[in-house]
């Protein structure tokens, strides 16, 4: 029983670590997405104009 509990807690810790990393990266991802959309819009306008 104890062996299973430690395995489960290890998995939980992994998930928590991944969640923390995602939270750290998320602002950069949204920033990059915004930049990509802005650049794409700019180039579409450039191509049309």
CB atoms near residue 42 (< 10 Å):
10
Token look-up 């923390």 returns: 20
pLDDT value at position 47?
80
pLDDT value at position 49?
65
Reduce the DSSP state of residue 5 to 3 states and report it: helix
Written as six digits, the tokens of 18 are: 């991944």
Using the predicted structure, report yes or no on whether residue 3 has a pLDDT greater than 70: no
- Encode pLDDT of 5-45 as tens digits: 788 899 989 998 888 888 889 999 999 999 999 999 999 98
pLDDT value at position 33?
96
């Amino acid at each position: 029983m104890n062996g299973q509990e430690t395995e489960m807690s290890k998995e939980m810790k992994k998930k928590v670590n991944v969640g923390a990393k995602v939270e750290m990266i998320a602002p950069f991802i949204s920033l990059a997405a915004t930049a990509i959309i802005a650049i794409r819009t700019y180039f579409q306008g450039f191509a049309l104009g």
